[in-house]
Structure 1
Amino acid sequence: MTRATIEAYYDAFNRGDLDAMLDTLHEDFAHNVNEGATRLGKAAFADFCRHMSETYKEHLTDMVVFSNDAGTRGAAEFTVNGTYLKTDPGLPEARGQTYVLPAGGFFTLKDGKITRVTTYYNLNDWIAQVSA
């Protein structure tokens, strides 16, 4: 069930289906994004996702999902294939640059729902790609 929940989360991401992503989340949810502050709750996560979809167009490929036997922890490794659409404050100017970036996510689950997502990628690699 853990792997299926994580796969459903990322399948919804790739479809751009925020409601389906939110359906995979527990009411007690925390989102830790690379180089950023922790967001608590589904509403804060939804706001983040809306901002991201205005600023970046991303599709994840090469997905591999792992989980522990207890069904309480999981991870995913994947490639982010993206286009930088709109300048994000504090980052280089957006000009429609494309990027390909290895990334990963780490999960905690309770009652079959995600209580924590922590996302990691190499920000310096991304900056170099969109600055070239």
Structure 2
Amino acid sequence: MSEQETLALVKRFLEALNAHDHAAVLALTSEDVAHDPFDAAREIGHEKLRWRLGLATRHFDEELADIAVMVGDGGVRAAAEFTVRGKYLATAQGMPEARGQSYALPGAMVFEVDDGLITRVSMYRNPVQWRAALG
């Protein structure tokens, strides 16, 4: 893929995340996508990603804002930096009690792309800052 095609793919992925359109997110990723959540070990495949997206949506309402996307030479890798603006909706296991807490934290994602699909997405945010915002 060209750099421009990768840029467009990553932007569509981020737009789908913001719209909570899980079907669109999955359509932009390979069947064996490697997903590195910021708070857990690597998960492989659509089923794991679908489960993770559902879990996140059940407990949090998040929007990615102030997005800047960067694409490496050849379009194989990309990264996005953003602000995660969220609201804690329902208590998640092992987390503080949800009381509708709002938060805004820096975050990033790193992508690998092959044959027109995202094959890896690694998510980053500071878990200490995140827990403190929820605490």
What TM-score does the superposition give when structure 2 sets the normalisation length?
Answer: 0.94
Give, in whole Å, the separation in 2 of the partners of 1:6 and 1:96: 30
Structure 1: gaps (5+ residues): none
Match of 1:3 among 7, 20, 23: 7
Offset at 1:111? 0.5
Residue 28 of structure 1 is matched in structure 2 by: 32
| Aligned pairs (5 A) from 1:49-128 | 49-128=53-132
Query: Of 49, 58, 77, which aligns to 1:45?
Result: 49
Task: Please state how far the C-alpha of 1:69 moved relative to its aligned partner.
Answer: 1.9
Deviations 1:72-128 (A, max 9, x none): 100000000000011111111111100001000001110110000000001111111
| Partner SS state of residue 8, structure 2 | helix
Aligned match of 1:14: 18
**Quick one: distance in 1 between partners of 2:6 and 2:47?**
23
When the two structures are superposed, what TM-score results if normalisation uses the length of structure 1? 0.96
Unaligned runs of 5+ in 2: none
SS in 2 for 1:49: helix
CA RMSD between the two structures: 0.8
**How many pairs are equivalent?**
131
Q: Give me the whole-angstrom Cα distance separating, in 1, the residues matched to 2:28 and 2:64.
A: 18
Deviation at 1:35, TM superposition (A): 2.6
Alignment-mate amino acid for residue 121 of structure 1 = R
The 2-side partners of 1:120 and 1:35 are apart by 9
